[in-house]
């Protein structure tokens, strides 16, 4: 298999893996995972954890932070899956994960960030942002359409 094909397959794998990671965490917050495998299990437990890793924030803003983080994870996952502005959303995903990991370290120590593989996921997101080859992405269709318009 040629190198370009490897990059395309790697990019697709990274898109799916990061999206699955985000969507799994979101599903956990809404109680969609079994209790045996769940980290939070419900929205209130997630907000309690959000408060724990953001100790300097006023309690009143914790729900907003939880909603913003959850919305970002859903949005980033969706755009990564369909391949829309992949490099941008991969980079934003990397920054979100990095912030999450740093908040975990500052508030609870490094063990949780390591156990939950936050930094490998961060690295994967930043690596994904560097792969320019398009593969099964909406961006391919948009750029193809723009090229056709330019030729007319």
Distances (CA, A) of 92 to 21, 63, 89, 111: 15, 21, 5, 24
- Are the CB atoms for 53 and 103 separated by under 8 Å? yes
- CA triple 95-26-124, angle to 5 deg: 35
Domain count, the chain: 1
Q: Domain range spanning residue 98?
A: 3-151
Percent of the chain beyond pLDDT 70?
99
23-71 tens-digit pLDDT: 999 999 999 999 999 999 999 999 999 999 999 999 999 999 999 999 9
The two structure tokens encoding residue 113: 């960030």
Conformational region of residue 133, where left means phi above 0, alpha means psi within -120 to 50, and beta covers everything else: beta
Mean pLDDT of the chain: 94
């Amino acid at each position: 298999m040629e190198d370009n094909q490897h990059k395309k397959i790697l990019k697709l794998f990274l898109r799916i893996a990061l999206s699955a990671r985000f969507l799994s965490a979101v599903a956990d917050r809404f109680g969609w995972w079994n209790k045996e495998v769940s980290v939070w299990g419900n929205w209130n437990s997630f907000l309690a954890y959000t408060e724990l890793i953001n100790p300097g924030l006023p309690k009143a803003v914790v729900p907003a932070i939880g909603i913003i983080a959850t919305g970002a994870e859903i949005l980033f996952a969706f755009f990564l899956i369909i391949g829309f502005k992949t490099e941008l959303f991969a980079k934003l995903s990397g920054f979100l994960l990095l912030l999450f990991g740093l908040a975990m370290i500052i508030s609870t120590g490094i063990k949780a960030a390591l156990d939950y593989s936050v930094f490998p996921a961060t690295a994967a997101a930043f690596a994904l942002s560097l792969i320019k080859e398009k593969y099964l992405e909406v961006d391919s269709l948009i750029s193809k359409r723009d090229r056709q318009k330019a030729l007319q």
